[in-house]
Chain A
Amino acid sequence: MTSTRSATLFALALLAPALIYILTIVAYPLVDTIILSFTNASLRAEYDFVGWANYQRIFGAGNFTDVIIRTFVWTFFSVSMKMVIGMFGAMLLNAAIPGQTLFRILTMPPWIVPMAIGIFMWGWMYNGQFGMISGMLQNLGLTKGPIAFLAYGDTAFWATVVTDVWIGVPMVTIYFLAAMQSIPKDLHEAAWTDGAGRFYRFRRITLPLMVPAIITMSLLSLIATFNSFDIIWILTQGGPSGSTTTMIIDTYKTAIGSRKYGEGAARAVVISIFVTLFCIVYFRAVRRLQQGEAK
């Protein structure tokens, strides 16, 4: 391809708007976060550098360590459930049964509808006295009294996980479905001729060939779930008594709620370090998968 100087200049000219935009709105803020994390910045205009004080404070209190652990537990369960339910959904949508197209369309709303609106609907479903879940359980006689899912730490934790799974499932399902459909049909046909049953073929053909898709999707899902804000904020705002406070929520409360920009920035830096680690793993996995494909 043309690698003359004018071609390079032309390419850079085409890229300039994108680069300038991303550098201003994403890269510069990232640098600013790191700088701020070493200051005592707050709502006031002037602030001083305080060294590692913010980091010492957030890790010294022990509180933030709990938040980190909770974030990972929350993310782990949410991502694993998304993968399992997504695989289940993809298998169903892949089956040649009448109504297939309609079912595929009906899978998409949680992904496409503005997140906040779906979350409001869940907020009603979890309503202790009159919500659908509590109401159904009572009508069926499974529980004696109403259950206010969002009022107790344990149930609130799982309620936010379930909602996060619900929002993530369509994307995972459709992606797995596409991966499933790209598996050559003759593999299945050959195995079928040899007398392999449906379950055997799934375990020995479909699943192994889906591994790249599963790895890619679980890493992407991991990053998205780790960064999840809207669901917890709308349902519980991190409560009751911190039982749903993940790192993002904690950062938001510190920085925007209490206007402690410096302390908030230190938390954001810790999050960024984790996200960067996930990215490195993701890039490595993608590269390895591509090399595998090339062979």
Chain B
Amino acid sequence: MIDRYKWYEIAGLYAGMAVFMFFVLAPFIEGFLVSLKPLAQLFSTPYSFIPRNGSFDAYINMWTSVPALGLHIFNSFFISTVVTLIVVAIVVPAAYAFARFNFAGAGLMLGGFLAVNMFSGAVLLIPLFRLMRTMGLLNTYWAMIVPGAAFLIPSSVWLLRTYMLRIPRELDEAAWVDGASRLYTLRRVILPLAMPGIVVVAIMTFIGAYAQQFIFALTFNSKTEFMPLPIGLFAFFGKQEVVWNELMAASFVGILPVMIVIVFLQRYLVAGLTAGAVKQ
């Protein structure tokens, strides 16, 4: 900035930042504190923000309260990983086609992809349910993977296309002049150069797949063995009461790896978010 902040402006900025950060982080702070409190303390008045006799017991007990917890966490990662692999495999060639070739209907298809992005899985749940049933995929991992990937493909195509447009065309053309086939050019010239973009797409897809695996899992799967974490957490909702401290502990263990990803890859995330802001 050109003009320097006066002391009261700085104070105002930090005060504003504190309010903003509190809004964004309050559920996580409170969730973490709850995970440290004994259950009896949670259900007693007056309310206290800070835990008394805080302990990590919930992080130990949760594994016995919900024996399938580890499996749920694994399932979430497994589903997201397979979704990411499928999306990347489908999106890389498609994005290249859109970035480099002019053919009839290209604009229409791109527009179609953008439109798909606007439809949520919730709207198409009935036919998807019928489709999954016909294909015999209900109560398998595929019932969550197949529709999950479909709704992440369009935004990824847009994002990667934007990235590939920035790679100079002369590189492809030079390779063709040297006699390389189109497929060879894609594999040996474009793929390495597009790798940073592909990494962004992969990260965004993984996060998207992990964040959004609720409604398909809720509707297309009823077997504990395939349940991802978001649905598996309902196991902490007992008949009498919710075991909130263990629920929060399990939530934190489940999201820890994603949090680590944020810290290390936030630059890529910001780049990806702004390049392809077509999806929440």
Spot the interface stretch: B51-59, B62-70, B86-94, B194-202: B86-94
B123 and A117 contact, CB distance less than 8 A: no
Task: Tell me what chain A mostly uses at the interface: helix, strand, loop, or mixed.
Answer: helix
Complex CA gap A95/B46 in Å reads 39
- Closest B residue to A268 by beta carbon equals B123
- Shortest distance from the beta carbon of A48 to any chain B beta carbon, whole Å: 17
B122 and A252 contact, CB distance less than 8 A: yes
Q: Which of B145-191 contact A (CB under 8 A)?
A: 146-147, 149-151, 153-154, 157, 169, 182-183, 186
The 8 Å CB contact of A19, one of B109, B119, B262, B273, is B109
Complex CA gap A112/B111 in Å reads 27
B262 and A229 contact, CB distance less than 8 A: no
Which residues of chain B are near A276, meaning CB under 8 Å? 115
The 8 Å CB contact of B215, one of A12, A136, A178, A230, is A230
Complex CA gap A268/B121 in Å reads 11
- Shortest distance from the beta carbon of A269 to any chain B beta carbon, whole Å: 9
Q: Which of A1-50 contact B (CB under 8 A)?
A: 1-3, 7-8, 10-12, 14-15, 17-19, 21-22, 24-30, 32-33, 36
- Closest A residue to B254 by beta carbon equals A117
- Shortest distance from the beta carbon of A212 to any chain B beta carbon, whole Å: 12
Which residues of chain B are near A132, meaning CB under 8 Å? 26, 30, 47, 49
Interface size band for B: 35 or more
- Shortest distance from the beta carbon of B176 to any chain A beta carbon, whole Å: 8
A174 and B101 contact, CB distance less than 8 A: no
Which residues of chain A are near B47, meaning CB under 8 Å? 130-132, 134-136, 138-139
A22 and B2 contact, CB distance less than 8 A: no
Complex CA gap A33/B179 in Å reads 49
Known: A21-B150, A117-B233, A216-B277. A107 touches B124 (CB 8 A): no
**Given A24-B131, A26-B151, 8 further pairs, Cβ under 8 A:** A18-B153, A21-B150, A21-B153, A32-B127, A116-B231, A120-B248, A125-B27, A272-B123
Provide a sorted-by-A list of 13 A–B residue pairs whose CB atoms are within 8 angstroms: A15-B98, A27-B116, A29-B127, A29-B128, A104-B266, A108-B262, A109-B24, A114-B214, A115-B211, A131-B47, A189-B2, A217-B277, A265-B127
